[in-house]
Structure 1
């Protein structure tokens, strides 16, 4: 009884730690794009007291600054969608590699194999979650389809080993 509980805890620990390791590794070597800093003059709303020429020029400058910032924010959003797509693909590849290793290399070490299997499944789930931030329906379909096929193959291989 004690051994079974310890094995289960160890399996979950390895699985969760492995998924975190993959996520942290991706973030360390492929950093996320940074949101542009908002210009200081746009942070404080100024209400004009008079309708003077200087005030109109100031309003025009603020409008130009706002448009420039909006363009930078749009560029950031596009970069973030691309980043999410790439992270999803990297995590998907890592998940499949981990799952293959768990079902082949460590097949005889059941506790480690199960921990790797759980880590691969969690990493696969992370990949599916990240693809939803990409805004690309076809990539979502592809990643979810690969995830489904992997889950079905895994279940078959684990339940009916050759």
Structure 2
């Protein structure tokens, strides 16, 4: 029994790693801009030269462009990871009768991947945070119903009388 649980968790972890590493491999994250070396050491008297001010302003513009890019990146990663999470969960529900241990691993992998997707969605804008939580809630409720409640409805209880 313990080995089955370990195997299920192992499959779940491998699936979320598969998705995360796959996304990073084929859709790399934008690189944070390098802080200008000239601004790392202030002048001894504490004043900024015109060149330092211009360099700082350029860096701030570059950093702002990076923030816009990373929001879009996180939104896209959220969507891709969510699709994989839903796919893993759907496959697990269809396989549940035939390959229980693998199906449970897929379900757990779907849950882990959903967590990864939600984490990325939280790094996007406010609308995506709400969407991430809403989709996660709906998926969790549907999955719980299909996995745990619906099978109980199919079983008839013996008459007591």
TM-score if structure 1 supplies the norm length? 0.87
Q: Please, what is the CA RMSD of the aligned residues? A: 1.8
Question: 2:23 & 2:134 partners in 1: Cα distance?
Answer: 22
Alignment of 1:102-117 (within 5 A): 102-105=92-95, 107-117=97-107
Question: Structure 1: which 4+ aligned runs deviate by more than 2 Å?
Answer: none
Question: 1:79 & 1:133 partners in 2: Cα distance?
Answer: 12
Question: 2:70 & 2:131 partners in 1: Cα distance?
Answer: 19
1:140 is aligned to 129
Alignment of 1:30-49 (within 5 A): 30-48=27-45
Question: 1:35 & 1:5 partners in 2: Cα distance?
Answer: 44
Question: 1:13 & 1:65 partners in 2: Cα distance?
Answer: 49
1:68 is aligned to 58
Matching of residue 153 in structure 1 with residue 110 in structure 2:
no
How far off is 1:107 after superposition? 3.9
Question: 1:68 & 1:32 partners in 2: Cα distance?
Answer: 22
Question: 1:20 & 1:107 partners in 2: Cα distance?
Answer: 26
Question: 1:143 & 1:31 partners in 2: Cα distance?
Answer: 21
Deviations 1:13-67 (A, max 9, x none): 1011111111111111111110111222111111349xxxxxx9x8111111111
1:6 is aligned to 3
Segments of 5+ residues of structure 2 without an aligned counterpart are 155-161
Matched length: 151
Segments of 5+ residues of structure 1 without an aligned counterpart are 50-55
Relative distance call for 1:120 and 1:47 in structure 2 (3 A) is same
TM-score if structure 2 supplies the norm length? 0.87
